Structure 1
């Protein structure tokens, strides 16, 4: 009798994906009951492709309305499908404004959140009297002329290891409010746009948007750079400026 050859079981693999998304119509990254989120949509599509229940782990949360150019996530799957097949299949089935830019095999112990070394966010302001007709979901329209030199003076105080409690909104679990910012600066861009770039070990809830709101106050002359520094060291959220709108914020890069 011919010998029966058993097919080997598919090994469990760890996949790393890099995802871009328009967060306008989503309630953030993390899955929520009865609300559309990036995590939910990705898990739904990947579960269809791989014919199994897929749970993904992102590098961190982004809030409702926040966008990403390069969010990183990982997931485990028992499959023979190659990363490029998974990427192409995911993008072909995706109807939401989410794109898988890269999919590759990762080390078995790679974790998208726990292995992050730094993250870079960018925030965009349209600084002119007339609002934008196109692209208004991706920037904050500020009418008063902003003093970018004063705002960059404030940014110098941000660099280094500090307690950023003054720029944290409540509602997110954390063991410490101390973070290290490696760089922070404003740059003028074409068409009356200002770009804020900030890179740090990590960020507290709404930290970037609260910093931007306070820097805007420095740009209008409402506070001085010295006052900004006092707000930072006060650790008191009520002293800082209003939270800037989510639509101008982009997760730009995650570094490992």
Structure 2
């Protein structure tokens, strides 16, 4: 039988989602807790790989098991007691044998948070960036971004993918009452390092160091070396992974 796990995590202490030879990952930590609680080796597949230091408000993974699980609040509670404080399981639910955490997903939605004021209660959870930014100009850049499908210029150079096309649902910046900036972006898929590089490039636009014509030319160049530097990982959050309704049909949240 196949089961989906819905979880969240603070990525500060981890070398990303994927199992690493040289550091602790979210995947290996979760596998260890599941193996301990279920008393047999458990291996999981995530909906995608977040980089070192990136957080997730909503992430999904799946695992297979010969015997059916008793899906109770106690199971989720006991797993959360085993896991460290920076990883939390929301629910575990059965899916069909061919449902896949990565390949069945139809969208991913990210936030990137920037604060002008240092917040001692949220270290590692936002990007503290002091320069004043022209948000209107950054949103004009978002409108240009939405006109494109190939985002090779924003992908890490050694990305092992067959193509660089992504279908964006939206991309925009907003400023809240506390002067925090949030970048919203949603697409069917994202390239390795894509969101952080887009943010880093838009910070150049917001400071007047790059104009909109240059931004258009950058995208059309399909060359990572002409884009801005990637913004730090600590401001980036995976906030939603979308699936067809039938995949989530048996999802029950344990509060």
TM over 0.5: yes
Of the three residues 210, 216, 222, the one matched with 1:223 is 210
Q: In the superposition, relative to structure 1, how do residues 106 and 161 fare at CA in structure 2: closer, same or farther (>3 Å)?
A: farther
Structure 2 gap segments, 5+ residues each: 244-255
Query: Which secondary structure does the structure 1 equivalent of 2:230 belong to?
Result: coil
Q: Shift in Å at residue 161 of structure 1?
A: 4.8
Aligned residues between the structures: 242
Q: In structure 2, how many angstroms separate the alpha carbons of the residues matched to 1:18 and 1:108?
A: 17
Residue 20 (str. 1) matches residue 8 (str. 2): yes
Matched residue, 2:231: 244
Of the three residues 94, 97, 101, the one matched with 2:86 is 97
Query: Which secondary structure does the structure 1 equivalent of 2:234 belong to?
Result: helix
Q: Shift in Å at residue 72 of structure 1?
A: 0.7
Between structure 1 and structure 2, the one with the greater Rg is 1
Matched residue, 1:122: 111
Q: In structure 2, how many angstroms separate the alpha carbons of the residues matched to 1:95 and 1:182?
A: 34
Q: Is the 8 A contact 1:160 1:180 kept in 2?
A: no
CA deviation map 1:98-154 (0-9, x unaligned): 00012111112110001111100100011x3x4222213111111111111000000
Residue 169 (str. 1) matches residue 150 (str. 2): no
Query: Which secondary structure does the structure 2 equivalent of 1:86 belong to?
Result: helix
* Equivalence map 1:147-186=2 (5 Å): 147-186=134-173
Matched residue, 2:253: none
Q: Is the 8 A contact 2:157 2:224 kept in 1?
A: no
CA deviation map 1:51-94 (0-9, x unaligned): 11111000010000000000111101133432234322211211
Query: TM-score when scaled to structure 2?
Result: 0.91
Query: Which secondary structure does the structure 2 equivalent of 1:24 belong to?
Result: helix
Q: Is the 8 A contact 1:165 1:237 kept in 2?
A: yes
Q: Is the 8 A contact 2:76 2:89 kept in 1?
A: yes
Q: Shift in Å at residue 172 of structure 1?
A: 3.0
Q: CA RMSD in A?
A: 1.3
Residue 109 (str. 1) matches residue 98 (str. 2): yes
Q: In structure 2, how many angstroms separate the alpha carbons of the residues matched to 1:140 and 1:185?
A: 17
Q: In structure 1, how many angstroms separate the alpha carbons of the residues matched to 2:14 and 2:217?
A: 36
Q: In structure 2, how many angstroms separate the alpha carbons of the residues matched to 1:96 and 1:35?
A: 18
In terms of fraction of residues, the more strand-rich structure is 1
Q: In structure 2, how many angstroms separate the alpha carbons of the residues matched to 1:196 and 1:124?
A: 7
Matched residue, 2:66: 78
RCO higher in structure (CA 8 A, sep ≥6): 2
Matched residue, 1:8: none
Of the three residues 192, 198, 215, the one matched with 1:211 is 198
Matched residue, 1:138: 125
Query: Which secondary structure does the structure 2 equivalent of 1:179 belong to?
Result: coil
Q: In structure 2, how many angstroms separate the alpha carbons of the residues matched to 1:171 and 1:239?
A: 15
